[in-house]
Amino acid sequence: MNASLEKINGYSIVNVLDERIDAHNSAGLKEMFLRLIEQGEAKIVVQLDKVRFIDSSGLGALLSGHKNLTSKKSGRFILAGCKQQVLSMFELTRLNRIFEIYADLTEALENEK
């Protein structure tokens, strides 16, 4: 998985740099989330503005990160910057009801819950 990590206002920002999240790289993303959670991170934003395609294994990696963070830490797992084709997958699978999804990183960081 090609991704970078930065901290902004107490949030760990995972910038996914690949155009696809699929069976070839989703395990790496899932590992990154688990590592962050084990290190004590309670607020994760996944920046998806470069992602053009996501398959079921990619959705599974995001769902795993969400479940692990919210169940163990009562934390926040946020998605930001989804392109329309990626957002459509969340809507089709109704995962848009599970995830906090924002148009961009700025909006995600401004909406403190």
* Residue-wise pLDDT tens digits, 12-67: 999 999 999 999 999 999 999 999 999 999 999 999 999 999 999 999 999 999 99
| Cβ(13)–Cβ(7) below 8 Å | yes
State the Cα–Cα distance between residues 6 and 20, nearest whole angstrom: 21
Number of alpha carbons in the 13 Å side-chain half-sphere of residue 99: 29
State the Cα–Cα distance between residues 105 and 103, nearest whole angstrom: 7
Q: Indicate whether 4 pLDDT > 90.
A: yes
- Output the 3-class SS for the chain: CCEEEEEECCEEEEEECCCEECCCCHHHHHHHHHHHHHCCCCEEEEECCCCCEECHHHHHHHHHHHHHHHHHCCCEEEEECCCHHHHHHHHHCCHHHCCEEECCHHHHHHCCC
Position 100 confidence tier, pLDDT thresholds 50, 70, 90: very high
pTM of the model: 0.94
pLDDT in tens, 62-98: 999 999 999 876 899 999 999 999 999 999 999 999 9
| Cβ(109)–Cβ(8) below 8 Å | yes
Position 113 confidence tier, pLDDT thresholds 50, 70, 90: low
